[in-house]
Amino acid sequence: MLAITAKTLLTPVDAINDPLLLIDDSTIAEIASRASRALPKCRTVDFGDAVLAPGLIDIHMHGAAGSDVMQSDPSTFSNIERFLSTHGVTSYLPTTVTAPVDATLAALERLAARIESPSDRTSARPLGIHLEGPFISHARRGVHPPEDLIPPSIQVFERFWQASRGQIRMITIAPELDGALELIAEAIRREVCVSLGHSDADLASTRAAVRAGAHHATHTFNAMRPLGHRDPGIIGEVLSNSAMSADIIADGIHVDPAVVKIFLSAKGPDATVLITDATAATGMPDGRYQLGSLNIEVKDGRCLANGVLAGSVLMLDRAVRNVMEFGSWELRHAVQAATLNPARTTGLNGVGQLAAGCRADIVVMSPSGEVANTIVGGKIFQAGATA
């Protein structure tokens, strides 16, 4: 048994002052206030004036620390996962980028193998795959290679599904494409989160996709038909439909801070999801890196391919601090957008919250959102070592 104490604990929907959190192996056994529960005789770690919060969850990231999730080198994943843990991330969805079908199939097989590998790792864990492309709009493809985009197809999706051994947890799709509604319905049947993105959809097409089961939006505003006051399009539905959750890249580059504030006001603490769209360049110096099969160049915090934004170098703890600044959100709401909300959106159970029976994935933060320590599966993570 391990006892953890600190000044505050965020569940994240509630705050507990002077908490006592008991960990049995890799699971949270009990959470109480120290005023109501005596400290048991076991190893105790006191984090002083820090805040305990659920481990952060990134549902859209392509790589970090010089490694890309679609690369074949086995060291790719350990590099990424150690780096993520230094920034409070304990779970993530490795995200593909559009590539030839055979290359995507091979990447899905490798990702599935990583997800299914022994779970005693003491750094961030992949809990499923986010398939971004190839079922997206040519008009809003961003940097996704146009020659590799294909119309939505249940048959092709089935090939992806088999290669991933059922580990696809999220798919980004453009709802206006022929065949999209049928694929959305099939993905929903398989309990895959369908997210609308890389889309030029009008309002009617977007609403048809929502009726078919889509309930989320991918990097809102980016690679989307712009909002018009007489042509609201996909963004009009995303911002006005309270039943939809939506994610955003809150780095101040992809979306202006003033527009991030509008988004936060529209979606609120319960429907906002923070993502990074991080690339292999994240945590690395300026230079050239890979995003799937694409060459990207990073300079002054911008990832570009042929002059177009291509992912980011954002980390999720920075996104938490940014929405505290951009939207004047309190830490609890910002943390919820990076923990409970992404878990609920993608159907991840036992993570994203601090409660008895949940996995002991915990980030130790300052009141301003700076990461001090990360606890992964009940083990305190430190760069290069665990204790």
Token pair 């007489």 is found at: 230
| CA atoms of 293 and 279, how far apart (whole Å) | 12
**Under a CB-based contact definition with an 8 Å cutoff, are residues 44 and 5 in contact?**
yes
Residue 131: which of 86, 71, 69, 175 has the closest Cα?
Answer: 69
Strand order in the sheet with 362-365: 15-17, 8-10, 51-54, 362-365, 371-376, 379-382, 385-386
- 3-state SS class at 235: helix
**Under a CB-based contact definition with an 8 Å cutoff, are residues 23 and 360 in contact?**
yes
**Under a CB-based contact definition with an 8 Å cutoff, are residues 89 and 123 in contact?**
no
Per the document, the length of the chain is 387
Q: According to the model, what pLDDT value does residue 187 have?
A: 98
Catalytic residues: 277
State the pTM of this model.
Answer: 0.97
Q: Which domains does the chain have, with CATH numbers?
A: 2-51+369-386 (2.30.40.10), 54-351 (3.20.20.140)
| CA atoms of 10 and 238, how far apart (whole Å) | 28
Residue 79: which of 121, 139, 30 has the closest Cα?
Answer: 121
Burial class (CB in 10 A: 0-12, 13-18, 19+), 78: middle
Residue 340: which of 147, 54, 9 has the closest Cα?
Answer: 54
- Cα 7 to the center of its chain, rounded Å: 27
| CA atoms of 86 and 281, how far apart (whole Å) | 16
What single-letter amino acid sits at 351?
A: V
Token pair 């985009």 is found at: 149
Element (H, E) at 272: strand 272-275
Q: What is the pLDDT along the chain (387 residues), one digit of tens a residue?
A: 999 999 999 999 999 999 999 999 999 999 999 988 888 889 999 999 999 999 999 999 999 999 999 987 878 899 999 999 999 999 999 999 999 999 999 999 999 999 998 766 789 999 999 999 999 999 999 999 999 999 999 999 999 999 999 999 999 999 999 999 999 999 999 999 999 999 999 999 999 999 999 999 999 999 999 999 999 999 999 999 999 999 999 999 999 999 999 999 999 999 999 999 999 999 999 999 999 988 999 999 999 998 999 999 999 999 999 999 999 999 999 999 999 999 999 999 999 999 999 999 999 999 999 999 999 999 998 654 333
Q: Where are the alpha helices (DSSP H) in the chain?
A: 75-86, 101-116, 154-163, 180-189, 203-212, 233-240, 257-271, 316-326, 331-336, 340-346
- Cα 71 to the center of its chain, rounded Å: 19
Q: According to the model, what pLDDT value does residue 387 have?
A: 32
**Under a CB-based contact definition with an 8 Å cutoff, are residues 333 and 34 in contact?**
no
Rg (CA), the chain: 20
Per-residue b/e over 311-331, b at no fewer than 16 CB within 10 Å? bbbbbbbbbbbbbbbbbebeb
C-alpha triplet 380, 336, 252: angle, nearest 5°: 100
Pairing of strands 362-365, 51-54: antiparallel
Beta bridge partners of 216: 195
Angle at which helices 154-163 and 180-189 cross, to 10°: 40
Token pair 């060291």 is found at: 75
Other Cβ atoms closer than 10 A to 230: 4
Token pair 């006592």 is found at: 20
- Look at phi and psi of residue 370 and say left if phi exceeds 0, alpha if psi is from -120 to 50, else beta: beta
**Under a CB-based contact definition with an 8 Å cutoff, are residues 90 and 55 in contact?**
yes
